[in-house]
Structure 1
């Protein structure tokens, strides 16, 4: 007998016992595997599918000095034994919750065994949001099941759970910057065989957040093979900032609808509420526009890489159930090119050398002097208004090049006819001419004066922004550094801001250059710790009330569906807690919980980047400084 066969011999007995009731064909098949020495990998695969948690864990955890300490579990010891996640739930003030609640939080001192097959969700009052609430309830049950390790079947004994949802405004189902996302949870024993969980919310969105938190209060106990819920819980919670987002650029590289949905699922898990869809750019135009089909026909990478009206509506509804608005951006007047070739409405498209006219190839800007351009814009805006059903709209305004416009004789003549010079100040007038006409078309397309967002630029410079853009109409999204004097300057003039400062919130930084050599322009890589410590309140100082929130940006020159998860997660979770709670402490106080939210995302199917060895997760206190 070979050495490998000898070592495996003790394992064969339980394998055959497990399958002793199988038919002879199965037994012969196993025998054939044995004879061909393939049994080793097959055996491991079978064990991974069939094993349950009936055998007690060799480990136990106890809470000491706010850390869960791992020790050997003596089966003869009759003292209460905590599993790892049960210990983590009670060892710190916020247990395993992410993001941490902002109001009073009491996680009690008890865990109750529950039967997750006996969870009943009830609506105390119906209304226009009832269908959303029912879908959110089904999502909650699915999240609870994801706490169970794959291949494990927990015991079905345990208490039933009734979840009562009390919606104070059941007719609200639309996003807004002042929507009520608050909620209150109470979990308590109702009888010897039932647990009651009551969630009260200021709207559907608050109740949805409450369900997300409740799902985090249910853990799997691998010592007893049971599902447990934290009992005697009281949590009051609401976000600090109303805008908590992730930007995804789908023009440099295409992303599948499934990958976008997965991103929205992960966002919902950490209570981010805005998926900013940078859907077009100079490299491609993947948006289907019914009245202008040629834009996508010649502007998309392929017919299969087009976002149809049906696909977008599917994403928008998917986000709504998860409390995530889908915010469209049409970036203009710069960052256009592919798709516009036959319109005659662009200048300097694919101009060379490209570095003279834009920041990356291919160059391209719209020609503001052509009246037909604004008919195109209205059709694009109407398409977006019809499918996105959004309460705010992003008009881009990023990286407009004076040199690009100045390369056009037609534009030069237009400016001179308007008695403008060809200097920087005059090109700002041209840009403002475009923005004013585009703004009117946007209002007409959406049928209302909805808030408009623009990136920081020369047009939004605080020394002259009030000559061009009304602070009641525009929100400015900051992409420069957090220390940029423009931030304070804009705040002092009363403009509302969204922070996406690239030194902390550009998640494409830190990879190899794609034009030239070395690393890309915003290197180095930004770790989750820097994301977590990037405080909008500290940046804003006395004007923090004008900060609407923040957003992580994934520009996609070097990313696509295959890399999406690990580019965003778990770093976007760090942003989520900063924007939800604006905690006083820094990242090191959140590290224990950060490791857990990463594990939770992985259980959801998100391929989140690993940030520490699993040993650190199981041995708290040894990997921290």
Structure 2
């Protein structure tokens, strides 16, 4: 008899709708845990159950921080929801005209993110149809920018703090959400947080928002970056846009674009068209000037600066072959030289020919166009790592140059020539930037080894990006010498690690794989304090995860970046004093949200774990 009754229910659902719509026998209840955040517990609906709640409704109201990622500095979130439709969202903007133009675009992104929560969004089958008897509210969003207009991120000036207050008056059909910030960038972060207090409610075929919230928030670090290499393999413009979208969802603010290398030169320059002509993989694998300008604007509206890197004097080759035919001589040395293991860290080798003065006018033209394409810039990345002295020493032209300048060929002499090149490059960049100096970023290298940094580099001009391990004593030396630093230690924040070697066999050089837990627990401040308890933490600007693209392209970039990039986002925004375990439930839920928004983020756990919080632990520590 029981089976017949169930069959009858199933049949009725099919006849009524034209497809099977099974009634949900489950409800979720927010349950406190001793010493931990609350969890959503899945329970069977019975005849005595009251106040049923969907999994989504439970998650946006449960726990100290609800569904928010990265977690804010302080938050108080209501435990009830109000239903509304996207058509019932209105906004009021109080800001300067310049900021208002940006906010209008940010609001459109906000509304699109709300539509993305609908299950039919990906198939473009979004139909918002209210259920009979449903009670909907109007969502009024007020955005107030109190400070002077600032339409571009700057390293020292930008204020990204915001406050968000959500209130539903008793017996009212209106929910007010008020965002206050000093800059557009803070206001944009507030909109992102508001979008995370909203989700789709299946039973009502509508959106729902928490009935109240009081949030005050600001970042722990001013530089929160993600590097993407587009030279080893070309990454499409659409893939970069998805990356910027996901960065915005995680409040990361710097897209470090490693746009060229010895492998390819995909950047089209009007003053030097032969660079891309010789250096691109094909006439489709190019970044046209309009592509770059559009991406800079696309990022800005999402609170992300697009930071250009032009890596030199190593990591050059493809695209530089045209020097002799133009009467400029060889602009590079040891390009594609074999055996490559003797001249570089990976094929193809190539370094600038420091004996050829013609490299400097060429660099000047490159910098000028990059400033125009990416500007206004508040910093510039010079690369500057992995110079191989054997490469320079194998060039007869450079050997003769050293001899004619009465410079011996010791390692220290070569480093001296390298520092001369770097200082000239800095001056060329400044000239290209209308004689306005900006900080230059350099990777740790032979120039920054023990005792060398202060000899060869000016702390007022350069920021050092650390890519060695988190136990490197150089970190202490750099901070004691008052250099500003950005952390990218490869033992936690290199996202290409853990794959099979692409030259040879076994695993690649920086294995093992850096799981999201390792990314999350990598604290720049703790690393510095472990090395010295007296360092000035204000010199730590922040950090950046790097994805080098030897084994990634447009088809796989999302899964390599996300949701590990989300772990980076919370570390750099919130700098939590706990480890990944206290963030796990929110992380798993946030990954689901990224997928709804079109980011092909990697799966972390079975769906069962998402629906049964607290039951997929390894231990209770």
When normalised by structure 2's length, the TM-score is 0.91
Shift of 1:152: 6.8
- CA distance in structure 1 between the aligned counterparts of 2:39 and 2:144, rounded to whole angstroms: 36
- CA distance in structure 2 between the aligned counterparts of 1:347 and 1:621, rounded to whole angstroms: 58
Q: Does 1:171 align with 2:141?
A: no
Q: Does 1:378 align with 2:345?
A: no
Give the corresponding residue for 1:90. Answer: 61
Deviation by residue 1:514-543 (Cα, 9 ceiling, x = unmatched): 101111111111100000000011011233
Shift of 1:569: 0.3
Q: Which runs of 5+ in 1 are unaligned?
A: 1-6, 20-46
Shift of 1:131: 1.1
**1:332 aligned counterpart, secondary structure:** coil
**1:590 aligned counterpart, secondary structure:** helix
Q: 2:94 aligns with which of 109, 112, 124?
A: 124
Shift of 1:10: 10
Q: 1:420 aligns with which of 407, 421, 443?
A: 407
Q: Does 1:369 align with 2:355?
A: yes
C-alpha root-mean-square deviation of aligned residues, in Å? 1.9
Give the corresponding residue for 1:401. Answer: 388
Give the corresponding residue for 1:315. Answer: 295
- CA distance in structure 2 between the aligned counterparts of 1:8 and 1:621, rounded to whole angstroms: 34
**2:85 aligned counterpart, secondary structure:** strand
Give the corresponding residue for 1:31. Answer: none
- CA distance in structure 2 between the aligned counterparts of 1:207 and 1:188, rounded to whole angstroms: 18
Structural mapping, 1:539-550, within 5 Å:
539-541=527-529, 542-550=535-543
Q: Which runs of 5+ in 2 are unaligned?
A: 1-5, 324-329, 530-534
Q: Does 1:445 align with 2:432?
A: yes
When normalised by structure 1's length, the TM-score is 0.91
**1:129 aligned counterpart, secondary structure:** helix
Shift of 1:420: 1.7
Give the corresponding residue for 1:357. Answer: 343
Q: Does 1:466 align with 2:454?
A: yes
Give the corresponding residue for 1:430. Answer: 417
Indicate how the Cα distance of structure 1 residues 342 and 527 shifts in structure 2: closer, same or farther if over 3 A, else same: same
Q: 1:270 aligns with which of 232, 247, 250?
A: 250
Give the corresponding residue for 2:160. Answer: 181
Deviation by residue 1:270-315 (Cα, 9 ceiling, x = unmatched): 1001110000000101011111111100110011111110011111
Report if the CA contact (8 A) 1:56-1:223 is conserved.
no
**1:400 aligned counterpart, secondary structure:** coil
Give the corresponding residue for 2:262. Answer: 282
Q: 1:258 aligns with which of 222, 232, 238?
A: 238
Shift of 1:78: 5.9
Indicate how the Cα distance of structure 1 residues 430 and 614 shifts in structure 2: closer, same or farther if over 3 A, else same: same
Give the corresponding residue for 1:392. Answer: 379
Shift of 1:155: 4.8
Shift of 1:105: 1.2
Deviation by residue 1:448-505 (Cα, 9 ceiling, x = unmatched): 1011000000112241211221111100011110111111110110001111100001
Give the corresponding residue for 2:224. Answer: 244
Shift of 1:73: 1.6
- CA distance in structure 1 between the aligned counterparts of 2:111 and 2:48, rounded to whole angstroms: 35
Q: Does 1:61 align with 2:28?
A: yes
Q: Does 1:143 align with 2:113?
A: yes
Give the corresponding residue for 2:476. Answer: 488
Indicate how the Cα distance of structure 1 residues 91 and 14 shifts in structure 2: closer, same or farther if over 3 A, else same: closer
Q: Does 1:80 align with 2:67?
A: no
- CA distance in structure 2 between the aligned counterparts of 1:404 and 1:585, rounded to whole angstroms: 46
Report if the CA contact (8 A) 2:263-2:348 is conserved.
yes
Size of the aligned set, in residue pairs, is 585
Give the corresponding residue for 2:83. Answer: 113
Deviation by residue 1:31-73 (Cα, 9 ceiling, x = unmatched): xxxxxxxxxxxxxxxx4xxx77xx6521101122222111112
- CA distance in structure 1 between the aligned counterparts of 2:416 and 2:174, rounded to whole angstroms: 68
- CA distance in structure 1 between the aligned counterparts of 2:202 and 2:8, rounded to whole angstroms: 28
**1:161 aligned counterpart, secondary structure:** strand
Give the corresponding residue for 1:44. Answer: none
Deviation by residue 1:125-145 (Cα, 9 ceiling, x = unmatched): 332121110000011111112
Report if the CA contact (8 A) 1:248-1:554 is conserved.
yes
- CA distance in structure 2 between the aligned counterparts of 1:8 and 1:400, rounded to whole angstroms: 73
